[in-house]
Amino acid sequence: MGVTVTVEPDRIPFGRTGLPGSLLDIALAHGVEIDHACGGVCACCTCHVIVKEGFGSLRPATEQEEDMLDNAPGLTTRSRLACQAIPDGSCDLVVDVPAWNRNLAKESDGHAGATGMGTGSSLRLGWTDSEAIGRLLLVARPEVHPLSVGFTNLHAWVCSLPGFDDPPDASNEGRLEAIQMAWLRAYEALHE
């Protein structure tokens, strides 16, 4: 299925999924479904796309994105995570959403689930996944400064994240601090 999207730069960001102006942000705003199990925070590789044309107009991939891409099926030299790839607008792009990354599962309201995966698997998080949890907390609570949250609330918020399945009593102060610091790094990177 070929879809042509014209981007109006003054409307970016379109939503709160992926980096503002990312391929994922643009695609979702224009009805193009791309799976994004982690909510677009670079904590998985389900939004893996292949940029067929215009690859050079994308901001370079970060080390974090490259680490996530290492887990992607069908990896090519033109692979990127749609949640992280931001075009500079200097040329048109042709982006292929591989069949294994198309979200085939729909929620009851007809929209793709932000945490659903068309393959039937799902993101599983535990207390040691501090970086991924930090990025998910940033998406879930973008208005909250991480250092303003006490460990009691942080514990409750982490336990309520989609995909979190560790026992609540398996946390400790060190793990909560690691999560809070990961959240702070993501928060500061967003607000640079």
Least confident of 14-18, 52-56, 141-145, 168-172: 14-18
Q: Is residue 67 part of a domain?
A: yes
Residue 109 lies in a domain: no
88-92, 104-108, 146-150, 171-175: which range is least confident on average? 104-108
Both 89 and 20 in one domain: the answer is yes
Average pLDDT on 142-150 reads 91
Looking at the domain assignment, is residue 65 inside a domain? yes
165 pLDDT more than 70: yes
Residue 139: domain span:
130-190
Domain boundary among 84, 101, 118: 101
Task: Say if residue 154 is in the same domain as residue 87.
Answer: no
Residue 46's pLDDT is what? 84
Asked if residue 86 lies in contact with residue 21, where contact means CB atoms within 8 angstroms, the answer is yes
Which pLDDT band holds residue 129 (cuts at 50, 70, 90)? confident
Q: State how many domains the chain has.
A: 2
Shared-domain flag, residues 27 and 96:
yes
Report whether pLDDT(117) > 80. no
Residue 14: band (very low, low, confident or very high) from pLDDT cuts 50, 70, 90 = low
Q: Are residues 83 and 30 in the same domain?
A: yes
Mark whether 96 and 134 lie in a shared domain: no
**Model pLDDT, residue 168:** 93
Residue type, 34: I
Do both 59 and 15 map to the same domain?
Answer: yes
Give the pTM: 0.55
Whether 116 has a pLDDT exceeding 80, the answer reads no
Residue 107 lies in a domain: no
Within a domain: 110:
no
Asked whether residue 150 is assigned to any structural domain, the reply reads yes
Q: Which of 5-19, 58-72, 80-94 has the lowest mean pLDDT?
A: 5-19
Q: What is the mean pLDDT of the chain?
A: 79
In a domain, residue 112? The reply is no
Task: Read off the pLDDT of residues 38-57 as tens digits, 9 standing for 90 and up.
Answer: 878 888 888 999 999 999 99
More confident residue, 31 or 5: 31
* CATH number (domain holding residue 86): 3.10.20.30
